[in-house]
Amino acid sequence: MSREIKAKAKPYRTISIPTYYYCYWKYRTDPVYGVINRYVPEKGKCLVLGCGIGLEINYLNRPGRVVRGIDHDQKRIDIARRVLGYGNSLSFETGDAVTYRPEETFDAVTMIDLLHYFPPQVQNHMLENALQLLNPGGVLLIRDGERKAGVRYFITWFCERVSISTGFTIAGGLSFPSFVMLKDFFIARGCRCEILPAWGNTVFSNKLLAVWKPLLQ
Ligand SMILES: C[S@@+](CC[C@H](N)C(=O)[O-])C[C@H]1O[C@@H](n2cnc3c(N)ncnc32)[C@H](O)[C@@H]1O
């Protein structure tokens, strides 16, 4: 397990030793990267919104998949490109996840730790947009901190506040979602949903929501 994690983090050594240790620590403590491949189809097109330096793309990038990462932070996109490469099956674009609307559709769309940067009405727009970007039967994965009274939520909120105010992450504000409301949103649109805890060895309130778009609408 530890060897596999080290191997996954190793390419980030080319950026810097602190970047390598950051990635190693993320992979070691955060279960989401190991779990996403259970949900994303083995073959097909995958869109990763808010991909950052490509941590989830490092896991999603497998033969048979075409993966595209979008982030508005040019520096992070440059790192992702440098570490993971760029080609027919893998691409990175600097862009706004809120307004990104390509012509094509995807078999999987992921938003890992992205939604909470936006106010609720913008989140709703992003959820609608993500459904539009999915092929029938495709899967949308949303991982985020859950807004729910308790210590885990407070720590999640506090760490993100620090991350934004120090400039580590470029983002406007903070509004963590309720997973019950997220699920209701998709159930009302005929989707099948599954929610699971996704905090692993961390102190955060993270959960993962998998949403399957209906085959017929
Ligand atoms: C907490 S990081 C998560 C990165 C990545 N998903 C991961 O798991 O490592 C959130 C990312 O969302 C990006 N982001 C925030 N607002 C965005 C927007 N409007 N459009 C595109 N990316 C955005 C940030 O630049 C940052 O890289």
Q: What letter represents residue 129's amino acid? A: N
Model pTM?
0.94
CA distance 58 to 115: 21
Distance in Å, CA 83 to ligand 1 centroid: 17
Judged by DSSP in three states, 88 sits in coil
Q: What is the distance in A from the centroid of ligand 1 to the CA of 45?
A: 20
Nearest by Cα to 81 from 54, 63, 102, 55: 54
Residue 1 is predicted with a pLDDT of 60
Q: What is the pLDDT of residue 127?
A: 98
Which residue, by CA, sits nearest to atom 27 of ligand 1? 52
Asked if residue 202 has its Cβ within 6 Å of ligand 1, the reply is no
Tokens 């994303």, located at residue: 40
* Ligand 1 geometric centre to CA of 64 (Å): 25
Domains of the chain (ranges; CATH) run 31-212 (3.40.50.150)
pLDDT beyond 80 at 217: no
How far does the centroid of ligand 1 lie from the alpha carbon of residue 71, in Å? 6
What is the average per-residue pLDDT within 40-60? 97
Q: In this predicted model, what pLDDT tens digit does every residue of 94-147 receive, in sequence order?
A: 999 999 999 999 999 999 999 999 999 999 999 999 999 999 999 999 999 999
User: Which amino acid is residue 5, in one-letter code?
Assistant: I
- Two tokens at 129? 């947009």
Dihedral (CA of 178, 201, 54, 19) sign: positive
Instruction: Give the strands of the sheet with 206-212, arranged side by side.
Output: 90-94, 65-71, 44-49, 106-112, 134-145, 206-212, 192-197
71 lines ligand 1 (CB under 6 A): yes
Q: How far is the CA of 167 from the centre of ligand 1 (A)?
A: 13
114 lines ligand 1 (CB under 6 A): yes
Q: Do 198 and 210 meet the contact criterion of CB atoms below 8 Å apart?
A: no
Does 72 sit in the ligand 1 pocket, CB within 6 Å?
Answer: yes
Ligand 1 atom at minimum distance from 26 CA? 9
Residue type for position 194: E
The DSSP code for 13 is: G
Query: Which residue minimizes the CA distance to atom 25 of ligand 1?
Result: 73
Residues 9-49 have pLDDT tens digits of 999 999 999 999 999 999 999 999 999 999 999 999 999 99
* Cα separation, 27 vs 87, whole angstroms: 25
Give 18 or 153, the one with higher predicted confidence. 18
Distance CA 20, CA 28 (A): 12
If phi > 0 it is left, if psi is from -120 to 50 it is alpha, else beta; for residue 46 that is: beta
Cβ(73)–Cβ(53) below 8 Å: no
CA of 4 to the centre of ligand 1 (A): 25
